[in-house]
Amino acid sequence: MKTFSISILFTILLLPYCLLAQTPLIYLDGEIEDWETATQQYVDTSNDGQGIDFLDCKISNDADFLFIQLQLKQEIKITERSGTFLYLDGDNDATTGFSISGLGAELVIDLGGRKAYTYLNDNNIPNSYRLSAIQFRNLPTVSSTIHEIAIARHLQFNNKSVFTGSKIAVFFQDLKVDNGDKLPNSEEIFTYTINEETAFEATAIPLERENDSHLRLVTYNILQNGITNNGRAPRIARLLRATNPDLITFNECWQVSSTQATNFLNKELPLNSGDTWHCTKKDDGNITASRYPILQTWLVASGRRITAALIDLPNALYSKDLLLVNAHFKCCGGDSEDEKRQREADAFASFILDAKTEGGRIDLPEGTPFILSGDLNLVGDAQQLRTVLTGNIVNTGTYGAAASLDWDDSDLQDVISIQTDHRMAYTWRNDDSSFPPGRLDFTICSNSVMQVEKAYTLQTEVMTDERLEHYNLQKYDTRSASDHFPKITDFSILNETTTSVQQITPTVPTNLVSDLQLSPNPFDSTMQVKFTLKQATQNATITVYDIQGKASVQQRLDLLPSGEQALNIDTNYLQKGVYWIVLNISGRQWSVKGVRL
């Protein structure tokens, strides 16, 4: 997403005001647009070592995490047998810590071996830890040329802090081969000055859908039959009640029948007027649940955990039905698992290409929306993700020729879902594992005929007590229910139920602001936010968010006069979609939502 300009027009009283520079806000989601404002960067010399070639490193921070983006020439999986080491000098003092390349590292991370070592003792003997001990997070989970890394800033081991200075020094080295590349180069030091200014936090995403006509899907790996486990089932029930889905793709239902799933949902998430949930299970682990009747089902590939169901959507809202593919690809790392996942990705692509063409196992009316949803376990070669998005089939002898998957012959949309209360997009976390949190659960859709209206991942552990109470959730519901988090996506079917503009009730009631509105309706190259202030005010911020809760830009206003205000926003660089404009004055918030057509 591109950054766009904001200007303020005061229509009654013209007073001086100051637009301060935006605070960089990094989202750990595997995308790079938010890094464009990072101020400290090191560009490495190309082709200056054997093995992998480091190209670029950027660094940022917020109050809790240090963020590092590393770019390489080659596509690698950095946390699996990569040989890449990261050295962090937490006090920028070469005389303390592990001595290497002119710095003294208090923290050494063997990224490929998934180990962290601290050098905090006087004798400089290292202590070894899992990556979870330093709150290490990185995305993407698949191989890539660009990797985002987050490490907790306030680390302490035996009452000794890792980061103690205002500056830190950073060094990468490839130890997989002799004469491996280094970043920075020998005899250079790359330092980063910690930004101690209070970084603004993204507004927590409300769990409710924005329009009753939007179709809500939850995909959830419930970990070893979770809905029949007496200890975990109540937590899963609370999560489902809080998110209130229309469709659910459950994974790891090994000993759960479709009847048991139906009974569980009818009890914990009852429908109106005595209606019943509809559940189907055609493989050994996936159950697809729907508020609406299921017209037909398919086992997409024999011996694979991929099931498809044609959902009979209500005619009063939608003129088309929906094809929902529930998949749980092969776990975990290693070349043989990569090959099995590739065959599963090929099987999905082949099935969709069959559905789009006359004849074969399945024929769909042109323009029928379809979704791939589930725990895809994409932890290795990125080719599997490319296949399910683009139709680039690898095993063509078995699954047929490659072709584009969406109805307009474009790629499908990979819906990346930020957590509601955390600027990270991982969907799986197990602190007892050597693997860091990863984005394993996916929602992929035919966005030529349907539109994502809202998307988020739910981790209750990072929610405030007030939000937990509001949604009748408990702090450790997600962690105790499963090692995966529920992933929620709301859709509209294009040309049928899309809402152009909607005003949202302020999160904190007040009469300070009135007549909040967005025009024109709908907007295109520009939009204007208007509101009336009852009195002059300070400490106002304007923030623009996309549907995943990602902030595109934030501007702070030192002074707003009383009276009518008009905010002009240049939207030429916005992609088609839904955006939130959030006005925050002294902790009180008002929001307005618009759809760019």
Beta bridge partners of 280: 288
Q: To which residue do tokens 């980063």 refer?
A: 192
Please tell me the predicted confidence (pLDDT) of residue 587.
57
Q: To which residue do tokens 């939009």 refer?
A: 527
CATH class as words, domain 215-331+371-386+414-493: alpha beta
Contacting residues for 509 by C-beta, under 8 A, at least 6 apart:
none
What's the topology of domain 6-23+500-596? Immunoglobulin-like (2.60.40)
**What count of other Cβ atoms lies within 10 Å of the Cβ of residue 124?**
12
Q: Which class for 551: exposed (0-12), middle (13-18), buried (19 or more C-beta within 10 A)?
A: buried
Beta bridge partners of 501: 594
- For the chain, what is the total number of helices (H) and then of strands (E)? 7, 37
Q: Are 354 and 401 in contact (CB under 8 A)?
A: no
C-alpha 364: how far from chain center: 30
Q: Are 281 and 257 in contact (CB under 8 A)?
A: yes
Domains 6-23+500-596 and 33-193 share a fold: yes
Q: How far apart are CA 332 and CA 321, in angstroms?
A: 34
Q: How far apart are CA 565 and CA 537, in angstroms?
A: 12
Among candidate residues 221, 224, 260, the one with its CA nearest the CA of residue 239: 221
Q: Are 30 and 425 in contact (CB under 8 A)?
A: yes
**What sign for the dihedral angle of Cα 252, 442, 497, 370?**
negative
Q: How far apart are CA 206 and CA 502, in angstroms?
A: 15
Domain boundaries of the chain, sorted by first residue: 6-23+500-596, 33-193, 215-331+371-386+414-493
3-class SS at 134?
helix
Q: How far apart are CA 568 and CA 522, in angstroms?
A: 15
Residues in the chain: 597
Please tell me the predicted confidence (pLDDT) of residue 15.
25
**What count of other Cβ atoms lies within 10 Å of the Cβ of residue 93?**
15
Please tell me the predicted confidence (pLDDT) of residue 16.
25
Q: Which two tokens stand for residue 53?
A: 């070639």
Angle between helices 383-390 and 335-356 (to 10 degrees): 0
Please tell me the predicted confidence (pLDDT) of residue 334.
80
Please tell me the predicted confidence (pLDDT) of residue 519.
75
Please tell me the predicted confidence (pLDDT) of residue 49.
85
Mean pLDDT by 10 residues, the chain (597 residues): 34 27 73 81 91 95 94 96 96 96 97 97 91 98 97 96 96 96 93 79 86 94 98 98 98 98 98 92 97 97 95 89 98 90 98 96 96 97 98 98 97 97 96 97 97 96 97 98 98 60 35 75 71 76 68 65 78 67 70 60
Q: How far apart are CA 443 and CA 440, in angstroms?
A: 10
Q: Are 238 and 207 in contact (CB under 8 A)?
A: no
Give the architecture (CATH level 2) of 33-193: Sandwich (2.60)
Amino acid letter, residue 423: R
3-state secondary structure 517-542: EEECCCECCEEEEEEEECCCECCEEE
**What sign for the dihedral angle of Cα 539, 545, 551, 552?**
negative
Q: Are 386 and 378 in contact (CB under 8 A)?
A: no
Please tell me the predicted confidence (pLDDT) of residue 12.
26
* Segment holding 148, helix H or strand E: strand 144-152
